[in-house]
Structure 1
């Protein structure tokens, strides 16, 4: 296969570049940041798992491979480590409490919840426990993927913002960036929210929204939160010993909200929910806008000659190892991956 240019060194683009490079495909990975994961990847809550959560569109066909692909990456790349803590989730909605759960998910209550999260002040009557879930440091994982791609021969160009596709008639022959022209037989756009702009010359419609998400970091006693807890008001997990990552509703992350207000809201949530949290301290917060395609992941060729390939999705952190493997296989072999059949982009009318 001829050279591939991958646009975007978030976790999705980095995974695609790694999986191509390890199959000896010439790859150039371009990113506008000074280092990997400087965009929304680095601000992700980074909850991974094969069950539960929102899996729109074709993401449903990818869910079963997520845990296995992360465990494979742990074996391939020693710098990648997942905190396999499991998750505990519940909602205020009592409807559906008796509906079937997917494999690997279990309804728990009473003593089981207390054993999983002994510091909960007011545990729910029932919750869903997914033992196979985990969390990662998304910046560390992305950096590991980029470093491994480079070891396999990939060219990595930071501070190289891609401004446009390089067109020759209707064919794409590479990309133009702030560092010049980069020729490629195939361009993979893993540029998140910037993907629709880059696709405009092709006439392709790639609807992507970026709803605000507020992520707060707190210093906390080690082990205060044991699993990934997702309750009606927030999600929280321990990202490393003594540090929590917490999501707050979008209203808490608007531009008009001060750091002091966010700190008060986050500390109030944690202190209300967990015993032993009185010593928690506010470390900081960021508001990000993860790219969310309207109908689920958009993965596949958007031009009839297959010279432009899209890979934009939510959650990219969850799906990146699986998508990187499948995209590399499609590009190398030319055979469509059945798991991606419901993710295909709409091509422009001829």
Structure 2
């Protein structure tokens, strides 16, 4: 093969599709079927307006509540603090308004092209029906939350030209009767596109890669080894040799990058989801995020998906889905939720760097290693456009966006 892409989530599958469409001999390798890990359990939203990254709390009172476990948005494993401390310190420093503005400027080139990049791949994959241009709502339960959030985050996002509308509960109810008027204000961000069944979308993109000639293989990326001037990976179908390797393993990516001498201030933000029956026949069509509750609610084929905020923990620690229990009553106040449809909450792991930017580009120490991970809360959004950018880097084409802000060695 010319290229072995390790990881068949939204990023790796998009990389493989773009390479295969350009005639590059590509193998897409994962230990599971495409789209079964982090890309499976997200809120299902392409959010181009999300340029301002989620910041680490800087209010001491909020930090105390987070440590005490009284915030619905955050859960913290105290036992993980020693390992997480270096990342959290850098994340806290990057979470100033100036730092978040810098990250917004770097994210905008990717996010502004995100919807078109999704449409390109999903239309070619015959799965364009999964895209629903509904936008999404941010709901604010109190005037203080609305004014605080709108004074910075929303104003920065609006400055990039994204379309929004401030709405009263009655105005929202006229469009979306399922949402009860138990909040102060809503902001309808109109440029976002809902993805019904994100896992199915990833499967479709991986299928497109296969139809274009890529080999979809089962294998463990940890078997990666040098082979002459290239690499060798063991798969269920036999050994694969490739000139170039793309590391798109999401939260597991640093298991490999450290082999190449690159140490990153990396952590995962864990999150959970669970599906519920719509209560009382409530038919939600537009996804929403409750800013005060820190959870997302989105219609999916299986039911209403409740997606939690952030859990700071070791990547492989046992699940502790307390945020589902904390946020379910809050969500039921807004939209009636019926019976749980899953036997237990699903656990996912968001790969994050402290500046909230992905790592995209060639390694200086190993030019035939290309990295593509660390998309934090916006992995689904940025997957296809990252795939195109990585294909540009590998084939020597003019890059769709300047990759300099995402260079792997920026933390050195």
Shift of 1:323: 0.8
Q: In structure 1, what is the equivalent of residue 250 of structure 2? A: 192
- Give the Cα–Cα distance (whole angstroms) in 1 for the partners of residues 259 and 310 of structure 2: 33
- Give the Cα–Cα distance (whole angstroms) in 1 for the partners of residues 311 and 14 of structure 2: 33
- Give the Cα–Cα distance (whole angstroms) in 2 for the partners of residues 305 and 199 of structure 1: 10
- Give the Cα–Cα distance (whole angstroms) in 1 for the partners of residues 324 and 368 of structure 2: 47
Shift of 1:30: 0.8
Q: In structure 1, what is the equivalent of residue 269 of structure 2? A: 211
- Give the Cα–Cα distance (whole angstroms) in 1 for the partners of residues 116 and 400 of structure 2: 17
Q: In structure 2, what is the equivalent of residue 282 of structure 1? A: 340
- 1:212–1:172 CA distance, 2 compared to 1 (3 A): farther
1:122-137 equivalence runs, <5 A: 122-136=181-195, 137=197
Q: Contact 2:110–2:382 (CA<8 Å) still a contact in 1?
A: yes
User: Runs of 5+ in structure 1 lacking a partner?
Assistant: none
Q: In structure 1, what is the equivalent of residue 297 of structure 2? A: 236
Q: Contact 1:16–1:328 (CA<8 Å) still a contact in 2?
A: yes
- Give the Cα–Cα distance (whole angstroms) in 2 for the partners of residues 297 and 263 of structure 1: 28
Shift of 1:286: 1.1
Aligned: 1:43 with 2:101: no
Q: In structure 1, what is the equivalent of residue 233 of structure 2? A: 176
Q: In structure 1, what is the equivalent of residue 20 of structure 2? A: 21
1:175-227 deviations in Å (ceiling 9; x for gaps) = 33354542211110001122112112211123321122121111115653231
Which residue, 292, 298, 303 being the options, matches 2:364? Answer: 303
1:319-338 equivalence runs, <5 A: 319-333=382-396, 335-338=398-401
1:5-31 deviations in Å (ceiling 9; x for gaps) = 100111110110011001110001111
1:106-164 deviations in Å (ceiling 9; x for gaps) = 23222432323323333544322112212222211111111111111111112x11224
Q: Contact 1:263–1:282 (CA<8 Å) still a contact in 2?
A: no
- Give the Cα–Cα distance (whole angstroms) in 1 for the partners of residues 6 and 186 of structure 2: 41
1:144-155 equivalence runs, <5 A: 144-155=204-215
When normalised by structure 1's length, the TM-score is 0.86
- 1:334–1:85 CA distance, 2 compared to 1 (3 A): closer
- 1:326–1:219 CA distance, 2 compared to 1 (3 A): same
Secondary structure at 2:186 match in 1: strand
1:8-67 deviations in Å (ceiling 9; x for gaps) = 11111011001100111000111111x112211112222112113644633232110011
Q: In structure 2, what is the equivalent of residue 74 of structure 1? A: 122
- Give the Cα–Cα distance (whole angstroms) in 1 for the partners of residues 320 and 365 of structure 2: 46
Secondary structure at 1:187 match in 2: strand
- Give the Cα–Cα distance (whole angstroms) in 2 for the partners of residues 345 and 266 of structure 1: 36
Aligned: 1:89 with 2:142: no
- Give the Cα–Cα distance (whole angstroms) in 1 for the partners of residues 44 and 17 of structure 2: 20
- 1:130–1:263 CA distance, 2 compared to 1 (3 A): closer
Aligned: 1:30 with 2:93: no
Q: How many residues align?
A: 338
- Give the Cα–Cα distance (whole angstroms) in 2 for the partners of residues 203 and 305 of structure 1: 9
Structure with the higher fraction of residues in helix conformation: 2
- Give the Cα–Cα distance (whole angstroms) in 1 for the partners of residues 20 and 203 of structure 2: 15
- 1:249–1:79 CA distance, 2 compared to 1 (3 A): closer
Q: In structure 1, what is the equivalent of residue 97 of structure 2? A: none
- Of 111-120 and 125-134, more deviation after overlay is shown by 111-120
- 1:183–1:230 CA distance, 2 compared to 1 (3 A): same
Q: In structure 2, what is the equivalent of residue 166 of structure 1? A: 225
- 1:344–1:196 CA distance, 2 compared to 1 (3 A): same
